Amino acid sequence: MSDMRDVLTGLDRYEEFLEKLDVEIRRMNDYRIALIYSDIKYFKYINDTYGYKSGDKLLKEFASQVTEDNAYLLCAARVYSDNIVMAVRLDNDVTNEEFRDFIQRQNLEMEDTFREKYMSARLKFCTGISIISKGDRSLDPATAVSNANLARKVAKEMEDTEVVLFDSKMIEGIKKEVEITSSLTSAIGKGEFIVYYQPKVATDTMKLIGAEALVRWRKPDGKFIYPDEFIPLIERSGQIVELDYFVYREVFSFIAKRLEEGKDIVPISVNVSRAHLNKMGILSYVQDLFEEYQIPPHFIEFELTESIYIENTAKALALVEGLHNMGTKVSMDDFGSGYSSLNLLSRLPIDIIKLDKVFLKDDDIDNHLRENDKIIISCVIDMAKRLRITSLCEGVETPEQSDYLSQIGCEIQQGYYFSRPIPQFEFEEFINENSYEQEMLIAD
Ligand code: C2E
Ligand code: CA
Ligand code: CA
């Protein structure tokens, strides 16, 4: 018998578990089977900090807590590392949601005990549940486990929830995610990503004063995928770093080309994903680009969203300072989009605040901004002025909005009213037609 068991936890080996589960699924009659797939969040942290012995002990204890004296238990196994799966009998009078809440309470209790014992405030369980009912008799056990595991992964990404019920919609989402993340690198190589440019206009002259680089994914069939669809996915996988670098290189080479040709060019801003905070390779990458392309630093600006500053102020500060030291400007993007970062403004060396487009969204039928939004926008712009930070409003779509921003002294405007994001060749025509604001360029 002993070779069928996992040495550390005493649970079944996974292969054995699948065979048992197969039998249980066939045998099931007036009850359902719940598959509970759990792992320990930050398990690696415990291993690294307290050593493998502690990690092993924790796992062993975890396994025995969930299985011992459990009258409903059908079978349980360690899949690998800290991943434990168990099948329990679920009576028909218990709803799926009730069962999920029960497991959630059980997890919280275990966390309390373990946190004290292992001195780890971060210790947390992540659990996915898939329910097998009579109608699913033909379900292959491995698929049932992978469904529960999928739910666990969803749970892992959530902040507050740690137990999630499997839902067949998750499969579609994952398929799409896998499709996108697995094709990303080759898509960059095949030139499927294109950089578009959206002009920015100086309020006092109504002339071109800069542009923002925004990436587009054009699939081989000509279909465009917009950043909102793929950026959150590749941000999770960390691949956004690679894509951002691609965008930066495109922008550097575009500016260098214009300068070489002796043509006009304006400063161009690029977006910085939150994923850079973990790697920080961005500073040396940008440094290398400056050496390679030899363009003056004031032609490049970096946009970091407000949420980045809030998530990790210390790292964000280091990043902003690093970029500043190279002579580039940094802006706080999406300002006011949900977090409150007013307190950070005085502490961070920010050059520009970009007011989020939500402020301009609440027009009434006559395209007039709501009174309350007006008050907020004008106060933010006033505050920016006093802090000597340049103010920019994005999402300007109507002449009324643009007029109002002029009235209250917002310095730069960006939005469909002036231009949508356009491909490079069109942007070059745009520059040629709109002589740019020389003064502001020389100022720095
Ligand atoms: P963002 O940085 O806030 O960029 C502004 C978004 O607002 C762009 O959407 C732009 O097309 C859109 N926009 C501009 N003017 C208007 C307007 O008048 N009305 C409305 N309703 N929308 C307007 P887009 O290009 O779809 O990009 C969405 C987001 O994806 C960006 O938000 C940015 O966070 C991210 N993103 C885009 N390109 C990159 C990139 O190269 N790297 C990274 N890390 N993120 C990027
Ligand atoms: Ca931006
Ligand atoms: Ca923005």
Q: How many DSSP H helices and E strands does the chain contain?
A: 18, 15
- Among the residue ranges 83-92, 94-103, 216-225, 371-380, the one predicted with the least confidence is 371-380
Q: How far is the CA of 239 from the centre of ligand 1 (A)?
A: 18
**Residue of minimum CA distance from atom 30 in ligand 1:** 227
Query: pTM here?
Result: 0.75
Q: Would the CB of 397 count as within 6 Å of ligand 1? A: yes
pLDDT of residue 114: 85
Q: Per-residue pLDDT for 45 more than 90?
A: no
At residue 433, the pLDDT reads 86
141 lines ligand 1 (CB under 6 A): no
Name the DSSP class of 206.
T
Q: Is the CB of 227 under 6 A from ligand 1?
A: yes
Hey, which of 268, 300, 394, 416 would you mutate to test ligand 1's pocket, going by the most ligand atoms within 8 Å of its Cβ?
A: 394
The mean per-residue pLDDT over the stretch 52-74 comes to 90
Q: Which atom of ligand 1 is nearest to the CA of 235?
A: 44
Task: Assess whether the C-beta atom of 247 lies below 6 angstroms from ligand 1.
Answer: yes
Please report the atom of ligand 1 found closest to the CA of residue 247: 41
Mean predicted confidence (pLDDT) in 232-251: 93
Q: What is the CA(334)–ligand 3 centre distance, in A?
A: 4
CA 194 to CA 381: how far, in whole Å? 33
Ligand with an atom nearest the CA of residue 231? 1
Closest atom, ligand 1, to C-alpha of 414: 15
Amino acid 440: pLDDT: 42
pLDDT at 437: 46
Q: How confident is the model at residue 442 (pLDDT cuts 50, 70, 90)?
A: very low
Cα of 354 from ligand 1 centre, angstroms: 12
- Residue among 200, 271, 273 to mutate when testing ligand 1 (max atoms within 8 A of CB): 271
| Closest Cα to atom 10 of ligand 1 | 421
Structure confidence at residue 346 (pLDDT):
78
Contact 302, 265 (CB under 8 A): no
Q: What is the dihedral of CA 210, 216, 220, 223, to 10 degrees?
A: -110
Q: Per residue in 280-330, pLDDT tens?
A: 899 999 999 999 999 999 999 999 998 888 878 889 999 999 999 999 999
Residue 365 pLDDT grade (very low, low, confident, very high; cuts 50, 70, 90): low
Closest ligand 1 atom, CA of 397?
A: 18
Q: Coil, helix or strand for 116? A: helix
Residue 354 Cα to ligand 3 midpoint, Å, equals 7
**Ligand lying nearest the CA atom of residue 227:** 1
How buried is 143 (Cβ within 10 angstroms: 0-12 exposed, 13-18 middle, 19+ buried)? exposed
pLDDT at 340: 65
Ligand nearest to the CA of 239: 1
CB 202 within 8 A of CB 209: yes
Confidence check: pLDDT of 271 > 50: yes
Give the distance (Å) from ligand 2 centre to CA of residue 77: 47
If one compares 368 and 440, the residue with the highest pLDDT of the two is: 368
Cβ(231) – ligand 1 distance below 6 Å:
yes
In 119-239, where does DSSP find H-type helix? Answer: 141-157, 169-189, 227-236
Q: Which bound ligand lies closest to the C-alpha atom of 414?
A: 1
Start-to-end C-alpha separation, the chain: 77
Angle at 418 between CA 286 and CA 334, to 5 degrees: 50
What tens digit of pLDDT does each residue of 376-408 get? 889 999 999 999 999 999 999 999 999 999 999
pLDDT band at 188 (very low <50, low <70, confident <90, very high): very high
Q: Which atom of ligand 1 is closest in space to residue 215's alpha carbon?
A: 38
Residue, of 47 and 379, whose pLDDT is higher: 379
Ligand 1 atom closest to 416 (CA): 18
Identify the helix (H) or strand (E) that includes residue 372: helix 371-386
